[in-house]
Structure 1
Amino acid sequence: MSHGSTAPLPGGRRGPLPGARLGALAGARAGARSGARPEAQPGTRHRALLRSTAALGALALAGAAALVATAPLALATADEPAGTAADAADAAADTDAADTLAQLASARGKDIGFALTANYLNETAYRNIADTEFNFVVAENAMKWDATEPQPNQFSFGAGDQVAQYAASSGKGLYGHTLVWHAQAPGWAQSLSGAALEGAMTNHITGVVNHFEGQVEAWDVVNEAFNDDGSRRSSFLQNGMGNGWIETAFRAARAADPNVKLCINDYSVESVNAKSTAIYNLVADFKQRGVPIDCVGFQSHLIVGQVPSSFQQNLERFAALGVDVRITELDIRMSTPASSGNLQQQASDYASVFRTCLAVQACQGVTIWGITDRYSWVPGTFPGQGAALVWDENYAPKPAYNAIYTALGGA
């Protein structure tokens, strides 16, 4: 999560998914971006089949409900022969034309993700949106250090497995967040230093990455390691292990899984500034020395009307280093109660962020930090601010929804 908030924010080894899904997905994305039609691979078919099955299930349920709702009308008009078949065909065509955000993003070769807390799936409205509008998911809290290893070498994967199982069953990609962060780390780890802390960190990374191997496409290995001025953040990690701890973490993650993509993630790095330049220099150094790093995450916890003008330029300079870029935790907050003017500006801002990702070939996609304002982390951290997500507290889509839809190519 962002801005250093310490409030809760929004061990068996498993084999890879069938058909080397991760490599196939990368090929499909590359084909979509180049305009070529990628050759179908087993992993691609596996993910597409899951998505198609979920979509067909949703359509079947919707169709059944529609039949029940219209049965009296059908009986009342059974003697009217003209136009009924044509009208039904037109209605079906209209339904088919109404793509979801997930369908639009997939057609552009991009992820559209959301941060998930699994128990919210028990709410029908939440579940319907999660199932249909996204093709990618990240655990909001369930894969962080305090959740996965509350006691030394005693791993707890129940909550994380729920997220992973949901992603697999609904045909969505899965992003791992986060292996090492100064916040939401267990007290026992924060009390360590030197070789003991390095050993504990390495063991934690190994245990978690091994457990989710073949399920997670990319990991936030290190989260929020820098200050706004580009210096290293003073934390138990930095103070206990010195400047080498980030490299140690990335090497441990690569040793645990040779195929998963490894990312560094931070906030207030969307523009070209001192903080983003410090991360740029770290990535350049890692690439030059052969330290494993594959991607950079730009959290993008933004304020309405303040999307940086240099966002695309910034993504492009990182991409030129040979890494993927991702928008990992997007929300756009405003003063509450929300005004109609701010909601319209928010819609424009969301569209701008999505267009920025679409314009950069190396941008893998955009993840929104939640679904509904009902569960957003923003009001608890920034009193008097909120309304940061795409659906309001009652699950009604805000103007931002249509703006994203249009930005992704929807008509």
Structure 2
Amino acid sequence: MAVAGCTAIMCATALLAFTGPWADGGPPTGSGDLPVLARANGVDLGVAVAVDPLLGDGGYRDVVGGHYTSVTAENTMKWDHVQPERGVFDWSGPDAMVDFAEAHGMNARGHTLLWHNQQPEWLSRGEWTSAELRGVLREHMEALMGRYQGRIGAWDVINEPFEDGEPFLRENLWHQVLGEDYIAEALRMAHEVDPGARLYINEFNIEGGGAKTDALYALAADLLDRGVPLHGIGFQGHFVHGQVPGNLAETMNRFTDLGLEVTVTELDVRIAEPVSEQAVRDQREEFRHVVAACLEVPDCRGVTVWGVSDAHSWIPEWFPGYDAATPFDEDYSPKPALWGMVDALSREPSGRSAGRTPRGRRRERTPAP
């Protein structure tokens, strides 16, 4: 179904007419047109994709192309995939993702340029001087960002710069060799390579506030005060069922008050095994809440789900004893979580467009609490 030029409320009406009645509060019989609803609200609804199923699995491709407006590279743009040997680049995966996005009228997000994980051995075990590592980083950015300049609109330049549970910068390769100001250096370098791209710091466990959130806020404020080209903060959103923070919109607003945009970049909600039917039903409200929180924040650019289906989710491997974290089950059937996102997008927020700040303009900062 496609409903061109409709408002969110009109789209929702058309969606319900298309999908049929909801029996006993359950999902409708069809999946409707989520991209229309997302675009009517002025946000992206994205999904992280893997290359092999994107190329070879028709059901996977149908979910991606039929329900989302943007794609993020789940792994294929990370260092160990795209530059397994120094100066040897594998463009097959990134090309496939970006080509798919363009063929389906979708946006593409780059992930990620600096991270402490998934580094090839030649990089992680190298003995680098600061000048040498800067050269390596520039080579990588010029190759990767340069290849997709004008085709990828936003990049997670810095991924997870803080310690997992602490408000301190992580002692990663970049910090150890380049020093504490490596983040500013990398952002400036990325901006030089692609001046039109939106540049993000992407972090987890910041969604509900706390010391780590405060530390990231202080870092972002300092970077902006120094004129560093930082445009947004990515709130990853890897949640546990029953623990999705109620103050997500408030926390995002702290950063947009700095003049930044925000995005929920890696949303999933994992459920403890054995996964009950009630937990899956309750998960609907959690996905609704996250999308609704984004809609409450004028400078929230969208929400990206991390993983196309439960069969392709990273959760069971990385969090043993948890599963069912995405809006589609292992057979690509929609779960109540999908309809939670429909719920949120079907309610057009008042004043959203009026509340946007033009890109590049700084707001007066609200002091950190």
TM-score, length basis structure 2? 0.84
Is 2:72 the counterpart of 1:138? yes
Partner of 1:125: 59
Is 2:187 the counterpart of 1:253? no
Partner of 1:314: 251
Structure 2 distance, partners of 1:342, 1:234, is 38
Is 2:309 the counterpart of 1:376? no
Q: 1:304-325 CA deviation, whole Å, 9 max, x = no partner?
A: 0111122111100100111110
Q: Name the one with the larger helix percent.
A: 1
Structure 2 distance, partners of 1:172, 1:329, is 17
Partner of 1:106: 39
Partner of 1:304: 241
Partner of 1:356: 293
Per-residue deviation at 1:94? 4.0
The alignment covers a number of residue pairs equal to: 324
Cα gap change, 1:153 to 1:382, in 2 (>3 Å) = same
Partner of 1:208: 144
Q: 1:261-299 CA deviation, whole Å, 9 max, x = no partner?
A: 000001111111111111111111111110110011000
Cα gap change, 1:266 to 1:188, in 2 (>3 Å) = same
Structure 2 distance, partners of 1:192, 1:299, is 32
Structure 2 distance, partners of 1:246, 1:403, is 36
Task: Name the SS for the 1:206 alignment partner.
Answer: helix
Task: Name the SS for the 1:243 alignment partner.
Answer: coil
Partner of 1:192: 127
Q: 1:157-207 CA deviation, whole Å, 9 max, x = no partner?
A: 111010000000000001000011110111111123332222212221222
Per-residue deviation at 1:395? 1.2
Q: 1:62-81 CA deviation, whole Å, 9 max, x = no partner?
A: xxxxxxxxxxxxxxxxxxxx
Q: Which structure 2 segments of 5+ residues have no match?
A: 1-6, 21-30, 349-369
Q: 1:243 aligns with which of 170, 175, 180?
A: 180
Structure 1 distance, partners of 2:166, 2:273, is 30
Structure 1 distance, partners of 2:19, 2:104, is 20
Partner of 1:220: 156
Task: Name the SS for the 1:297 alignment partner.
Answer: strand
Task: Name the SS for the 1:325 alignment partner.
Answer: strand
Per-residue deviation at 1:96? 9.0
Structure 1 distance, partners of 2:258, 2:186, is 20
Task: Name the SS for the 1:258 alignment partner.
Answer: coil
Structure 2 distance, partners of 1:239, 1:258, is 27
Per-residue deviation at 1:95? 3.5
Structure 1 distance, partners of 2:270, 2:228, is 36
Structure 2 distance, partners of 1:192, 1:234, is 16
Given residue 333 of structure 1, which amino acid in structure 2 is its aligned partner?
Answer: R
Given residue 301 of structure 2, which amino acid in structure 1 is its aligned partner?
Answer: Q
The answer on whether the counterparts of 1:126 and 1:371 sit within 8 Å (CA) in structure 2 is yes
Cα gap change, 1:267 to 1:342, in 2 (>3 Å) = same
Per-residue deviation at 1:399? 1.1
Cα gap change, 1:196 to 1:313, in 2 (>3 Å) = same
Per-residue deviation at 1:154? 2.2
Given residue 45 of structure 2, which amino acid in structure 1 is its aligned partner?
Answer: I
Is 2:98 the counterpart of 1:161? no
Q: 1:115-151 CA deviation, whole Å, 9 max, x = no partner?
A: 0112213222212111110011011111111112111
Q: Which structure 1 segments of 5+ residues have no match?
A: 1-31, 36-90
Structure 2 distance, partners of 1:255, 1:212, is 14
The answer on whether the counterparts of 2:15 and 2:32 sit within 8 Å (CA) in structure 1 is no
Q: Describe how 1:268-279 pairs up with structure 2 within 5 A.
A: 268-279=205-216
Structure 2 distance, partners of 1:410, 1:391, is 22
Given residue 209 of structure 1, which amino acid in structure 2 is its aligned partner?
Answer: M
The answer on whether the counterparts of 2:15 and 2:33 sit within 8 Å (CA) in structure 1 is no
TM-score, length basis structure 1? 0.75
The answer on whether the counterparts of 2:270 and 2:323 sit within 8 Å (CA) in structure 1 is yes
